[in-house]
Chain A
């Protein structure tokens, strides 16, 4: 068992200069710019869906995309804000109105699809392409977000992971609506919730381990300065 003065010695020993974090809104903006870049790359590489202009005139579709993007922006801001220890938990409420609107458009879309396409109207080939698009959008975004929010693992890992997962999920859903001509609403839901659950589980599992690892490193550096 290390005594507290010894621990302080060890901590002082490895106190290198650190760069202060930029304000959370700026950092959220950076991440959203990265998300915009990925969407732009996908638009160039994959091309937007051919009937986009026609779809954008439909209020439900337009509302769906707008609410997904709003959810992404607001939940990213919330995630970056609550990753700091002294910010209020009320930031968690920020994306809720947009999320409610987004979920209601998804639900509406599900019913409409069910009626128009029917239960066996989904082709396998479409789903695979859809899945590739999902992975291409969400994986880089999730990695970037985890890298930017890694400090939160020690403080409010669960809440930050939830908000981050929501932001990634919303951007991915917007990308699918823009680039994919089939509204794979069920898959979007499964994938998005899966992503959020995965990130949440990972932060729960590894947050503490990272902490222990860090503590072990500090103590080892104290033993062999």
Chain B
């Protein structure tokens, strides 16, 4: 945490003076460009305040890589970085009338950016304190921890199939088409040549018979 904080400080000097040591830290904003660019930004912002949309677009597009570099110091995920950049852009938009052309643009922008980034970091910390990340132990892809006893399942399956075999032919056909092959009533009617209502009745009876068979597996139906 402390190295991060220490690295925030030069960003303030970066745009107010042409210190070579501090400019080296920000990627996306080259050393020699920082000071003149800041002056440009100030001019662009003044024009944007007067309603010049081209200047405003140029300013926002110019600022974005710099803001991204600032945000990248505090966030790792690219989604978080983009969210932070967008937060800053929205804030700059909302408070753009607070910029005084007589003062340097850099500290104004960096103060807003730091404020928003710190707010987002705090929110993340709060969320993390409430949420628990899933680890490998929580995942249940392998059969053992999921409690799926395959021998039991297959035994059940065999019993069910045996029970279906013992059904009368029309009921057996209805169950096969509608339940095992998961056809719709219309499809099953087409496949079997029987009416929809006949299939419904047959399925209902089949389920009843199956329940009876499976409850007393040893007795014949």
Contacts and interface: CB of A to CB of B under 8 A. Distances in A.
B111 A85 contact: yes
A151 B111 contact: no
A211 interface: yes
Given A8-B57, A86-B103, A155-B115, A18 B90 contact: no
Interface in B74-95: 79, 82, 85-86, 89-91, 93-95
A184 to B, nearest CB: 38
B98 A151 contact: yes
Contacts of B56: 11-12, 15
B111 A19 contact: no
Given A15-B51, A86-B108, A211-B91, A8 B64 contact: yes
A218 B93 contact: yes
Nearest to B51: A17
A155 B112 CA distance: 7
A84 B101 CA distance: 13
Contacts of B91: 154-155, 211
Interface size class of B (residues with CB under 8 A): 20 to 34
B200 interface: no
Contacts of A18: 49, 51, 96-97
Given A4-B89, A8-B89, A20-B49, A86 B111 contact: yes
B48 A20 contact: no
Contact of B90 (A17, A19, A215): A215
A4 B112 contact: no
A55 interface: no
Given A11-B93, A18-B49, A19-B97, 15 more contacts: A3-B82, A4-B64, A4-B85, A8-B89, A12-B53, A15-B93, A17-B50, A85-B112, A86-B103, A86-B104, A86-B108, A154-B94, A154-B115, A211-B90, A214-B90
Interface of A: 1-4, 7-8, 11-12, 15-21, 23, 83-86, 151, 154-156, 211, 214-215, 218
14 contacts: A1-B79, A4-B82, A4-B85, A7-B89, A7-B90, A11-B89, A11-B93, A15-B51, A15-B53, A20-B49, A85-B115, A86-B103, A86-B104, A151-B94
